[in-house]
Amino acid sequence: SQKIEQNSEALNIQEGKTATLTCNYTNYSPAYLQWYRQDPGRGPVFLLLIRENEKEKRKERLKVTFDTTLKQSLFHITASQPADSATYLCALPDTGRRALTFGSGTRLQVQP
């Protein structure tokens, strides 16, 4: 069955450093992969989508890579700020439909 793995341990980094979060998946051949941010008690917010034929995508301080051979995506936040503290979710489309399957998320804590 399809499986998505994200590091369940919280990632603590210092303000100004680059945060790198990992998403690994198995038994998938997704056409694209998405990253979302979720704050406590709130719904997820869409951040980036990267397609299978794209190696890298950037949006302001965010960068996502997608390695379909390794079945892995890396999510980077450069020049991190305390306001970036949140849980970041990786999501892939279910085969043949629009519904998404989410990873368990990685909580990022940026220390001032």
Partner 1 sequence: GAVVSQHPSWVICKSGTSVKIECRSLDFQATTMFWYRQFPKQSLMLMATSNEGSKATYEQGVEKDKFLINHASLTLSTLTVTSAHPEDSSFYICSANGDGRLAEQYFGPGTRLTVT
Q: Which is nearest to 65 in space by CA: 101, 95, 99, 90?
A: 90
DSSP 40: T
- CA 95, 99, 105, 111 torsion: positive or negative? positive
Cβ proximity to partner 1, 28 vs 102, nearer residue: 102
Would you list the DSSP string of 51-75? Answer: ETT-SEEEETTEEEEEETTTTEEEE
Cβ proximity to partner 1, 91 vs 110, nearer residue: 91
CB of 23 to partner 1, least distance (A): 12
Cβ proximity to partner 1, 35 vs 80, nearer residue: 35
Tell whether residue 30 is a contact of partner 1 (CB under 8 A): no
CA angle (20 as vertex; 37, 57 as ends), nearest 5: 70
Cβ proximity to partner 1, 28 vs 112, nearer residue: 28
Tell whether residue 46 is a contact of partner 1 (CB under 8 A): yes
Q: Which residues bind partner 1 (CB under 8 A)?
A: 32, 34, 36, 41-46, 49, 89, 93, 97-105
